[in-house]
């Protein structure tokens, strides 16, 4: 009997995992520069943390949760996203207290779980790199955070992207707009999909996010939220666009964009790849402002802004744009040993190089010299040490710098006592 991985999951194998490490390292160092620190929350949460934040009528909560009752009868779900768990942690640990910096800025990297129909760029276990900033309602926070996401993609060498923004305004905006949507869609109620009929009175904003063809036609002529913005919401949005202009960042405003999560207020955004091969999965990064969520989960009135990037989608784009990521693991030294009697000395030499703080590898499969030199080449070793029986008897070893081609025969004692000098001299 043999098994396959569960549908919608991936094994990340060596060869691929180096790319993940490079992407994650790039995010860590860039986000650190913007003063974000890492946070790690559990992979599962109380169901209610997610349902109250993301919203009961969203696809994520109503169709895609990996939820279950644990042996203690608790309703638990694997996390479908990172924001709600982090807000839960922010409130639980009172990270709004005076001893913490403001805004309080965190980033996270890890797996999320959604029971979706798997396809290219859409998985059931997928991975996000995300950030959340708590405590600032300044439009500059919206803009610098979106710019940080763009900078991340730029640093990775991705070129063909565009930024799409919209606003969902404040409470007053959404109340007015909700009524306008109900009025508009009620006239076409019998044409709406079953899902959207249900949403019409529960949460009409969700109809705008429908993937149903007939719904989409009606959505095209629906009233625009931009006509219902309160004065405060309009002022915030104008500041955001003015600041994007000041930084000469190009963007489009898409007034029907609502995003698939209920917690957003004011600015929302997506960064899409222009690559046609990604189809409906072209959104690499998405996020926005959530000024009521902290309070909703029992904390003090605290604004928030964040985004999440889908790592699997990012990898597809890197592949499509043929971006070469640098090799992470270059080998400092490869030790070629010829003849069974050199086995122990080769072990000692390899270990001495490692103990001196360098990376080293050797053959342990009894391969012929030619095959060992090939391995050294393949692993891109900077130096190749060669130990034959003659060298061993003379207490010597050969060392070759692969960069300069220079070759030397040196005493084994030098390897044990003065390795750094050899590397420096021959570099
Ligand atoms: P989201 O739009 O649900 O937002 O997901 C963000 C990104 O995660 C998507 O743009 C996509 O790249 C990736 N993603 C989502 N679902 C899948 C999937 N099934 N397979 C592969 N990739 C996927 C959020 O999750 C919010 N928490 C973002 C946020 C943070 N808003 C404020 N702070």
Note whether 287 and 369 are same-domain residues. no
pLDDT, residue 276, reads 79
289 alpha-carbon distance from chain centroid = 19
Of ligand 1's atoms, which has the minimum distance to the CA of residue 130? Answer: 30
- C-alpha 173/C-alpha 231 separation (Å) is 9
- Regions of the chain with pLDDT less than 50: none
DSSP string for 314-365: HHHHHHHTTPPPPPS---SEEEEE-SGGGHHHHHHHHHHHHHTT--EEE--S
What does the block give as tokens for 420? Answer: 């750094």
Question: Which residue, chain included where needed, has tokens 């790319």?
Answer: 19
The domain of 54 spans 17-170+230-320
- C-alpha 28/C-alpha 44 separation (Å) is 23
pLDDT, residue 143, reads 98
- Pocket test of ligand 1: the residue of 80, 113, 310, 312 to mutate, having most ligand atoms within 8 Å of its CB, is 310
Note whether 45 and 126 are same-domain residues. yes
Of ligand 1's atoms, which has the minimum distance to the CA of residue 287? Answer: 31
What does the block give as tokens for 65? Answer: 């949760």
Q: Please tell me if the CB atom of residue 313 comes closer than 6 angstroms to any atom of ligand 1.
A: yes
Note whether 23 and 156 are same-domain residues. yes
Note whether 146 and 294 are same-domain residues. yes
Q: Please tell me if the CB atom of residue 126 comes closer than 6 angstroms to any atom of ligand 1.
A: yes
- Domain end (from 287, 320, 353): 320
- C-alpha 22/C-alpha 156 separation (Å) is 9
Note whether 337 and 316 are same-domain residues. no
For residue 113, the CA-to-ligand 1 centroid distance in Å is 10
- C-alpha 145/C-alpha 140 separation (Å) is 8
Q: What is the CATH number of the domain that holds 79?
A: 3.30.930.10
Dihedral of the CA atoms 194, 197, 199, 202 (nearest 10)?
Answer: -130
- C-alpha 355/C-alpha 91 separation (Å) is 46
For residue 377, the CA-to-ligand 1 centroid distance in Å is 41
Question: Which residue, chain included where needed, has tokens 């009025």?
Answer: 183
Closest-CA residue, ligand 1 atom 12, reads 310
pLDDT per residue as tens digits for the range 38-77: 999 999 999 999 999 999 999 999 999 999 999 999 999 9
- C-alpha 387/C-alpha 354 separation (Å) is 17
Of ligand 1's atoms, which has the minimum distance to the CA of residue 270? Answer: 10
Q: What is the pTM assigned to this prediction?
A: 0.93
Q: Please tell me if the CB atom of residue 122 comes closer than 6 angstroms to any atom of ligand 1.
A: yes
Domain count within the chain: 2
């Amino acid at each position: 009997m043999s098994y396959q991985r569960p549908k919608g999951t991936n094994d990340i194998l060596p060869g691929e995992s180096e790319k993940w490490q490079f992407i994650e390292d790039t995010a860590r160092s860039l986000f650190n520069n913007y003063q974000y620190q890492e946070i790690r929350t559990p992979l599962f949460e109380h169901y209610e943390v997610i349902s109250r934040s993301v919203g009961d009528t969203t696809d994520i909560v109503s169709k895609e949760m990996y939820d279950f009752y644990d042996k203690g009868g608790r309703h638990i779900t694997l996390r479908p996203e990172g924001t709600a768990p982090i807000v839960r942690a922010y409130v639980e640990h009172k990270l709004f207290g005076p001893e913490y910096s403001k805004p309080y800025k965190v980033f996270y990297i890890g797996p999320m779980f959604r029971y979706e129909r798997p396809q290219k760029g859409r998985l059931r276990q997928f991975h996000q790199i995300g950030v959340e900033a708590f405590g600032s309602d300044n439009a500059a926070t919206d803009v610098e955070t979106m710019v940080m996401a763009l900078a991340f993609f730029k640093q990775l060498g991705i070129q063909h992207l565009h930024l799409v923004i919209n606003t969902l305004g404040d409470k007053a905006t959404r109340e007015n707009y909700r009524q306008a949507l109900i009025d508009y869609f009620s006239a076409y109620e019998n044409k709406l999909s079953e899902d959207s009929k249900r949403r019409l009175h529960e949460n009409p904003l969700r109809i705008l996010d429908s993937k149903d063809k007939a719904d989409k036609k009606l959505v095209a002529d629906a009233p625009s939220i931009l006509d219902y913005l309160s004065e405060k919401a309009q002022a915030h949005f104008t500041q955001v666009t003015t600041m994007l202009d000041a930084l000469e960042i190009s963007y489009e405003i898409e007034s029907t964009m609502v995003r698939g999560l209920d917690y957003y207020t004011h600015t929302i955004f997506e960064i899409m790849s222009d690559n046609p091969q990604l189809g409906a999965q072209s959104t690499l990064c998405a996020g926005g402002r959530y000024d009521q969520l902290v309070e909703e989960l029992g904390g003090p009135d605290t604004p928030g802004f964040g985004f999440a990037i889908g790592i699997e989608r990012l990898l597809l784009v890197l592949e499509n744009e043929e971006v070469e990521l640098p090799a992470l693991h270059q080998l400092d030294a490869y030790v070629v040993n010829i003849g069974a009697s050199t086995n122990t000395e080769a072990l000692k030499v390899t270990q001495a190089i490692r103990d001196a703080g360098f990376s080293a590898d050797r053959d342990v499969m009894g391969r012929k010299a030619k095959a060992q030199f090939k391995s050294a080449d393949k692993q891109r070793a900077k130096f190749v040490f060669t130990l034959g029986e003659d060298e061993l008897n003379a207490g010597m070893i050969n060392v070759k710098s692969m960069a300069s081609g220079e070759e030397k025969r040196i005493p084994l004692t030098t390897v044990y006592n003065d390795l750094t000098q050899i590397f420096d001299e021959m570099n």
